[in-house]
């Protein structure tokens, strides 16, 4: 199987030994995105909502670099440090992805890299 590394400067560079995404055939596995500004590499300032928007914009940039868009996502995994913010994420998600929505899991975690409050990863199918 041929694996193609997907990379874009429109999303934050990987902060460890991983790729922003890997394409294997028609399937693209998008690494988790937190609210890092692609230019500065710093976590965005502002409320929880600002982090969710930045994370989805980062995910969208990687999806586009792979030749697709968030509408091609078939599975999302959401990570929240505060599950009471789940309704906020649901509302914001619908600004980036329309029905039919992808399958999804949501996981409450005690912490995320760089002190982020939200992370999203995805699986996308093209073709």
Mean pLDDT, the chain, whole residue set: 97
CATH of the domain at 91: 3.30.1330.40
pLDDT at 49: 98
- The pLDDT tens digits for 24-71 are 999 999 999 999 999 999 999 999 999 999 999 999 999 999 999 999
In terms of residue numbers, what domain contains 109? 3-125
Q: What is the pTM of this model?
A: 0.96
Q: How many helices (H) and strands (E) does the chain have?
A: 2, 6
pLDDT at 15: 83
CB 14 within 8 A of CB 20: yes
Q: What is the number of structural domains in the chain?
A: 1
pLDDT at 107: 98
């Amino acid at each position: 199987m041929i694996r193609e590394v997907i990379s874009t400067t429109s999303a934050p560079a990987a902060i460890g030994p991983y790729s922003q995404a890997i394409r294997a055939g028609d399937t693209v596995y998008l690494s988790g995105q937190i609210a890092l500004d692609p230019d500065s590499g710093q976590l965005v300032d502002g409320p929880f909502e600002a982090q969710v928007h930045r994370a989805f914009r980062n995910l969208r940039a990687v999806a586009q670099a792979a030749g697709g868009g968030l509408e091609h996502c078939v599975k999302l995994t959401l990570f929240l440090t505060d599950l009471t913010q789940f309704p906020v994420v649901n509302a914001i998600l619908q600004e980036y992805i329309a029905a039919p929505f992808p399958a999804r899991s949501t996981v409450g975690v005690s912490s995320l890299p760089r002190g982020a409050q939200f992370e999203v990863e995805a699986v996308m199918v093209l073709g």
